[in-house]
Amino acid sequence: EEIYDDEGNYVESVTPHIWGQKIGSDDYPVLGGDKVYLVTNCNNESDYSNENINNTHDWSNKDGICANGCGTQCSHEGISDGECDICKAEFQASVTDKDDNEIGTYKTFDEAFAVARENEDSTLTLLRSVTLTDYLFANSCRFTLDLNGKILLKETDRVLQTGENADITIKDSGEGGTVQTTAEYATAIVNFGNLTIESGKIKSDMGVSNYGTLNFIDGEVEVESLAAIYNGEMGVVYIYGGSLAN
């Protein structure tokens, strides 16, 4: 096909795009399919791609390391809903310091929890819902757990226990963030330290067993059969708002 400008002067000839193929989806070329380019990857090896970009990395392993063998690690510059926008690696949580500077993004919640405990006044943010293998124990530390609209679940036993030297704040910057155990007659949180609940939901047969100081500022405790808040000997509870329901 020849192309001319408005004055009838010849500009160029263009070969119409008729056949194409979506790499990885189409088994054969199809009429009107995606355009295919011959490109070179980061190891200078030729391959076919739907993007006309050379020196490309292969992130198909979804582990953040180029599958071509060049050793390049993904920068993880953008993470949406716990997934890297570039390599598609999955992350469960992130930690920021007291000034909201990023300390790190972690593939497992346990890694992030350990980092938060070592960084005073840090914030541990859930990037996706997590089912715990073991319950969490926090002592001699002060940080905030941001549920971020996700669910922190323990199917057996409690979700979190705080020691007498712990100072933990729980909040939900998203919608529907929940600390939950599905174990029968289990307590979601056992507090021996200083626990502040700013927002979010606690869901279990018994909500919070308190033997320290509990500041319930807002949020919701939803229980199936037992007490929303059990206050043990020497425990102190301050309730400023929120709801307690069964």
Whether pLDDT at 1 is above 70: no
- For residue 1, CA distances in Å to 10, 15, 19, 182, 193 come to 11, 6, 16, 67, 77
Element (H, E) at 110: helix 109-118
Whether pLDDT at 52 is above 70: yes
Q: What is d(CA 237, CA 222) in angstroms, rounded to the nearest whole number?
A: 17
Q: What is d(CA 134, CA 113) in angstroms, rounded to the nearest whole number?
A: 12
Whether pLDDT at 58 is above 90: no
Token look-up 């919608």 returns 175
Percentage of the chain exceeding pLDDT 90: 62
Give the model confidence (pLDDT) of 142-187 as tens digits.
999 999 999 999 999 999 999 999 999 999 999 999 999 999 999 9
At residue 101, the pLDDT reads: 96
pTM attached to this predicted model: 0.76
Pull the structure tokens for residue 81.
């809903």
End-to-end CA distance of the chain: 73
Whether pLDDT at 45 is above 90: no
Give every CB contact of residue 69 below 8 A, 6+ residues apart in sequence. 43
Q: What is d(CA 234, CA 236) in angstroms, rounded to the nearest whole number?
A: 7
Q: Phi-psi category of 62—alpha, beta or left, where left has phi over 0 and alpha has psi -120 to 50?
A: left
Whether pLDDT at 214 is above 90: yes
Give every CB contact of residue 148 below 8 A, 6+ residues apart in sequence. 125, 126, 127, 172, 173, 174, 177
